[in-house]
Structure 1
Amino acid sequence: MTTTLITGANKGLGFETARRLLAAGHTVYLGSRDAERGRLAAERLGARLVVLDVTDDESVAAAAKAVEADGGLDVLVNNAGVEGRTEDGAVVTAADTTGEHMRTMFETNVFGLVRVTHAFLPLLTRSAAPVIVNVSSGLASVTSASTPGSPTHFYPGVAYPASKTAVNMVTVQYAKAFPGIRINAVEPGYTKTDLNANTGTQTVEEGAEIIVRMAQAGPGGPTGGFFSAHGPLPW
């Protein structure tokens, strides 16, 4: 039986990923910062709730202890993330980006991902087929962002793409450090979720496809890569 933890899974892509992996036979821990929302989501799916705020050391440590006490972990999906739009749903442009805005973005998207990964590495290294999936974004691609005419080139924000570019580098470095773990970054596509004020053009079913696929990568699968549902992406 494969045991999987998904952060930020009480809604959106995390919730759909949990649903799909449960259907595939995984035991799924649904990570949620909000205990009540997490409880309702876990009950709806038949998943196990673990209260987990990726920005809080004590919360992450407690979650790791809880999962360890239940038997361990095979797959970690680092899905929790924020885009940090304005109250009216607009992207924060370069002119309006502040150090504090960058800090907030990195606290969840980068530091939170590292915090969770570090806490659960001891459990993953005991697994016979460990996997880490880091949910990144096509906006992380420096190649695409610097290519006139590409969709990424037109995105006006600074903090979110920068945080996801950092996620990609973290992915590569962890993959080199832990060759026994399949560790990849994935681009779910422009998916309609609360993260982007529901402006996305894909459904969560479409967006979760690559996350679910990489979560089921076997020992012979890729590692240290950046993928969408259509294949490898440029860094």
Structure 2
Amino acid sequence: MLFYNLRNLYTKPGRHNEAIENLKESGISNVVFHQLDIKDPTSIASLASFIKTRFGKLDILVNNAADLGVVIDPGPFRAFGGFNFVLDENAKAVKDVIDEPYDKAEECLKTNYYGTKRVTEAILPLLQFSNSAKIVNVSSVYGLLSYISNDKVKAQLRDIDLTIEKLDDLVQYFLKEDKLECNGWPMLISAYKISKAVVNAYTRILARKYPKFCINCVHPGYVKTDITLNTGELMPEEGARGPVMLALLPDGGPSGSYFNQTKIFSFD
């Protein structure tokens, strides 16, 4: 199984050693680490080559890319109640707490969507050698279409015949917008919400293209991690339940679906 957590392993060099030691102490010794920068095609190709040379195939890919696309003032953010308060109706109240510059939004989409897509495309040939291939895309409740009020955009994301090319066009359309509110885009952590909405759509596209695979996306819950500034309600091991369940689904299980933790849920 290939699992990567961009935020912990890429942005914090050395964290992988700590994670591996913790796993060994809990009795899990067969763990291999390989560096990955999901925004770097050379790094992605190196990982794919490593897996092919060492294992010849891959059974499970868990994509866990996470970039919020914002700059947060930690103290006031925690005082507000963390992400439980990050609703569009509270946009004015938190405008001095959460800053969303364009470069951060662009980086968010490059990481969460384009990075996920590049890794998946590089690994797909190895998954095709598996008799029981699984892809799990870690998403977010913020990727639900209810956070987007633009009916045209929602219709595109709901379209069962949506293509990757059209999805890419939609992302570029969002990045070119300069009037989020009046054009029906999310007002708070907007790039993150759009990135996860398109990851959900990408999941459905992949599931349609590879019917023999089991491909799903999952909201792990509001977890105490670096990305939530440890304001979450679940411990990491609780947040892992949904992704692990989907990674170990039996053959013939659901595919092209969105899960809220361990329960199947609507994309809306």
TM-score normalised by L of structure 2: 0.70
Which among 213, 216, 222 is matched to residue 184 of structure 1? 216
| Counterpart residue identity of residue 211, structure 1 | P
1:133 maps onto 2:136 in alignment: yes
Distance change (3 Å), C-alpha of 1:86 and 1:171: same
1:49 maps onto 2:27 in alignment: no
SS in 1 for 2:14: helix
Q: Deviations over 1:6-64 (max 9, x none)?
A: 011785xxxxxxxxxxxxxxxxxxx7565532233224323111111111111111011
Q: Distance in 1 between matches of 2:53 and 2:132?
A: 19
Which among 101, 106, 130 is matched to residue 104 of structure 2? 101
Tell whether the 8 Å contact from 2:69 to 2:106 is kept in structure 1 after alignment.
no
Q: Distance in 1 between matches of 2:7 and 2:109?
A: 21
Distance change (3 Å), C-alpha of 1:100 and 1:215: same
Q: Match of 1:219?
A: 251
Q: Distance in 2 between matches of 1:48 and 1:39?
A: 10
Offset at 1:232? Answer: 1.8
Which among 191, 196, 221 is matched to residue 159 of structure 1? 191
Q: Distance in 1 between matches of 2:114 and 2:7?
A: 20
Identity %: 35
Q: Distance in 2 between matches of 1:50 and 1:99?
A: 31
Q: Deviations over 1:67-103 (max 9, x none)?
A: 1111121000001212234252347969753432221
| Counterpart residue identity of residue 65, structure 1 | S
Distance change (3 Å), C-alpha of 1:234 and 1:112: same
- The count of aligned residue pairs is 206
Q: Deviations over 1:192-218 (max 9, x none)?
A: 100111111111121111000000012
Q: Match of 1:5?
A: 2
Q: Distance in 1 between matches of 2:190 and 2:11?
A: 26
Tell whether the 8 Å contact from 2:241 to 2:262 is kept in structure 1 after alignment.
no
Gap runs ≥5 in structure 1: 12-30, 147-153
TM-score normalised by L of structure 1: 0.79
Tell whether the 8 Å contact from 2:71 to 2:100 is kept in structure 1 after alignment.
no
Larger Rg: 2
Structure-to-structure mapping, 1:61-140, within 5 angstroms: 61-71=45-55, 72-89=57-74, 90=77, 96-140=99-143
SS in 1 for 2:5: coil
Q: Distance in 2 between matches of 1:217 and 1:75?
A: 11
Q: Match of 1:15?
A: none
Gap runs ≥5 in structure 2: 24-28, 78-82, 150-185
